[in-house]
């Protein structure tokens, strides 16, 4: 069971509830406005007085509810703009981070414009680190990537059998690499192979 909990200030909870009640508040406001309109020339001063106050209170609640949805709409627009700028489909062949991507590929870049993921178009392949890949390709985070790394892929699916860092890996299977140095972590072998291993002591 998780101990993580979220706590919101009372004003935010009240703002949310007013926002959720906006359709009902709108109907009440329309009814009060109609009642006030037809009561103006009836001589019922007291009734008109209370209708003004009711309109002011309900009108304030209605504005609060509208502001809640306006803020939500603006936030959604900002999110859509961010997605369009940082996750988009290529309409022509493009070279990003030294990699040539075919038309129809989806690419994802970070705030600094550096590539961190790609999804190839159906039946298309991408050549990275001396092998052909397809589908969803995740790259090592640009912040963790170093020139001394053995590669830039974090995990991806091979399009063709390939020998990766001396290990024969099978096409159509997921290949994974360590994030901080690019060393091969996992792949499905195409044949039996001698694999060098290093056992490291875990420091306590």
**Segment 117-150, tens digit of pLDDT:** 888 887 889 998 889 999 998 988 777 777 666 7
Task: Note whether residue 178 is domain-resident.
Answer: yes
Q: Does residue 81 sit in the same domain as residue 118? A: no
Task: Note whether residue 78 is domain-resident.
Answer: yes
Q: Could you give the percent of the chain with pLDDT greater than 90?
A: 17
Task: Note whether residue 144 is domain-resident.
Answer: yes
Q: Does residue 138 sit in the same domain as residue 179? A: yes
Q: Does residue 114 sit in the same domain as residue 75? A: no
Whole domain around residue 75: which residue ranges? 10-85
Q: Does residue 15 sit in the same domain as residue 97? A: no
Q: Could you give the percent of the chain with pLDDT greater than 70?
A: 89
Q: Does residue 116 sit in the same domain as residue 135? A: yes
Alpha-carbon dihedral angle through residues 28, 34, 35, 38, given to the nearest 10 degrees: 180
Q: pLDDT per residue over 22-71, tens digit each? A: 999 899 889 888 888 877 776 677 887 888 888 889 889 999 989 989 98
Task: Report DSSP letters for the chain, one per residue.
Answer: ---------HHHHHHHHHHHTHHHHHHHHHHHHHHHHHHTTSS-HHHHHHHHHHHHHHHHHHHHHHHHHHHHHHHHHHHHHHHHHHEEE-SS-EEETTEEE-TT-EEEE-TTS-EEEEEPPTT--EEETTEEEEEEEEEPPTTT--TTSS-SEEEEEESS-EEETTEEE-TTSEEEE-TTT--EEE--BSS---------PPP-
Distance CA 70, CA 64 (A): 10
Give yes or no for residue 86 having a pLDDT over 90: no
Task: Note whether residue 201 is domain-resident.
Answer: no
Domain count along the chain: 2
What is the pLDDT, as a whole number, of residue 161?
Answer: 93
At residue 176 the predicted structure's pLDDT band, cuts being 50, 70 and 90, is: very high
Section 15-21 average pLDDT: 87
Distance CA 181, CA 37 (A): 74
- Closest to 154 measured CA to CA, from 171, 168, 174: 174
């Amino acid at each position: 069971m998780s101990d993580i909990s979220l706590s919101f200030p009372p004003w935010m909870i009240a703002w949310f509830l007013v926002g959720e009640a906006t359709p009902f508040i709108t109907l009440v406001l329309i009814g009060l406005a109609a009642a006030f309109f037809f009561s103006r020339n009836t001589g019922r001063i007291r009734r008109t007085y209370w209708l003004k106050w009711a309109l002011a209170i309900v009108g304030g609640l209605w504005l609060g509810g509208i502001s809640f949805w306006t803020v939500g709409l603006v936030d959604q627009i900002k999110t859509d703009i961010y997605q369009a700028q940082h996750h988009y489909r290529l309409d022509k062949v493009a070279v990003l981070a030294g990699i040539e991507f075919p038309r129809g590929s989806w690419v994802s870049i970070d705030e600094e414009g550096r590539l961190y993921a790609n999804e190839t178009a159906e039946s298309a392949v991408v050549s990275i680190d001396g092998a052909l890949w397809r589908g969803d390709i995740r790259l090592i985070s640009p912040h963790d990537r170093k020139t001394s790394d053995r590669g830039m892929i974090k995990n991806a699916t091979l399009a063709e059998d390939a020998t990766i860092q001396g290990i024969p890996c099978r096409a159509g299977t997921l290949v994974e690499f360590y994030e901080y140095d690019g060393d091969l972590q996992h792949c499905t072998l195409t044949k039996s192979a001698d694999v060098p291993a290093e056992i490291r002591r875990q420091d306590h």
